Amino acid sequence: MVRTPLTDEQRDRGKALGQILRAARGPRPAAAVAAEAGISLDTLRKIERGAIAVPAFYTVASLARVLDIDLTDLAKKLAEFDRTIPESAAS
């Protein structure tokens, strides 16, 4: 199966998600958060830096649970990010 390449907007949204999750992690060790969420440390690091721009829902939900982030609040923050994309970049 061939995957459709991600758009610039999807990559930027992935970076925004990573920044939100990294900020929520605060000083907690990445290894501890990854272990508690049931994902690898490498996966968490890739999500935080935006290298995995569209992580699986289960992964995001697990991280949100561990980081005590409400999924609705997370979606709102990402929607705010979407509204900041200039019109010229969205086309």
Spans of all domains in the chain? 8-85
Name the token pair of 12: 């930027």
Name the token pair of 11: 């990559």
Q: Count Cα atoms within 13 angstroms, Cβ side, for 37.
A: 31
Tens of pLDDT along 9-56? 999 999 999 999 999 999 999 999 999 999 999 999 999 999 999 999
Cβ(47)–Cβ(15) under 8 Å?
Answer: no
CB atoms within 10 A of CB 19: 15
Assigned fold of 8-85: 434 Repressor (Amino-terminal Domain) (1.10.260)
Specify the pTM.
0.85
pLDDT of residue 85: 62
